[in-house]
């Protein structure tokens, strides 16, 4: 199997999602650690919106983690990371989208960006009020939803799937921002997150 190249930073939860899929499918890869929104002219040609991850192999792919994961699913079918049941597969894709959009907005932009990226990359101060507001108003809504769909034990859909991989990617960044799920308040979510890592 030929090695593929992933353009993107290890800190990106979207890159992490693709790397987990590559690891589970035992597909060799190398990383080009281009930072999103920057890069050279070559990066702009590959990713016109300067987003990551980009998968470079013998096919040109759009720079989107969900599209890359779907492509890997179809090109390398085993192991299965999408449920076989049609309705469950749709639910798994919904949870992937929920993670990418809503969890991305809350855990990446409102927490990780404030606590880690702004001070470390841009030299800007963390907006403590914005972090407090997210922890008070946004995070509980996300966690309440996850608590409602988390299984009593094991994985959603019974096995590792794109849904769990997507959710876990965001909680890893949340840990970098010093956030953990309160197991006393949301035991199912806390247990689910613990098996995802």
The pLDDT confidence band at residue 47, using thresholds 50, 70 and 90, is confident
- For residue 7, give the H/E element and its range: strand 4-7
State the pLDDT at residue 165: 95
List C-alpha distances in Å: 7 to 91, 114, 188: 28, 24, 35
Q: What is the pLDDT of residues 53-106, one digit of tens each?
A: 888 888 767 778 999 999 999 999 999 999 999 999 999 999 999 999 999 999
- Residues 8 and 94: beta-carbon distance below 8 Å: no
The 8-class DSSP code of residue 104 comes to I
Whole-prediction pTM:
0.89
**Cα gap 106→104, rounded to integer Å:** 5
Residue 173: φ, ψ to 5°: -65, -35
Kind of pairing, strands 4-7 and 54-56?
antiparallel
State the pLDDT at residue 52: 85
The pLDDT confidence band at residue 39, using thresholds 50, 70 and 90, is low
Who's near 184: CB < 8 A, 6+ residues apart?
A: none
CATH class of the domain at 4-75: alpha beta
Ordered by start, the domain boundaries in the chain are 4-75, 86-196
Q: Which two tokens stand for residue 159?
A: 């096995």
Q: Which two tokens stand for residue 164?
A: 């769990």
CATH class of the domain at 86-196: mainly alpha
């Amino acid at each position: 199997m030929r090695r593929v190249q992933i353009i993107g930073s290890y800190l990106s939860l979207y890159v992490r999602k693709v790397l987990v899929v590559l690891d589970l499918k035992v597909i060799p890869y190398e990383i080009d650690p281009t930072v999103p929104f920057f890069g050279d002219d070559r990066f702009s040609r590959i990713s016109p919106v300067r987003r990551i991850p980009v998968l470079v192999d013998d096919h040109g792919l759009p720079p989107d983690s969900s599209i890359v994961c779907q492509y890997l699913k179809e090109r390398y079918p085993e192991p299965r990371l999408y449920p076989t049941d049609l309705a469950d597969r749709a639910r798994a894709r919904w949870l992937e989208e929920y993670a990418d959009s809503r969890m991305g907005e809350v855990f990446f932009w409102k927490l990780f960006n404030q606590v880690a990226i702004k001070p470390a990359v841009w030299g800007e101060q963390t907006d403590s009020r914005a972090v407090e507001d997210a922890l008070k108003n946004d995070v509980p809504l996300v966690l309440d939803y996850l608590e409602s769909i988390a299984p009593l034990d094991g994985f959603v859909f019974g096995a590792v799937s794109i849904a769990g991989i997507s959710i876990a990617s965001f909680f890893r960044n949340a840990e970098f921002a010093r956030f953990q799920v309160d197991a006393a308040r949301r035991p199912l979510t806390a247990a689910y997150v613990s098996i995802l890592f």
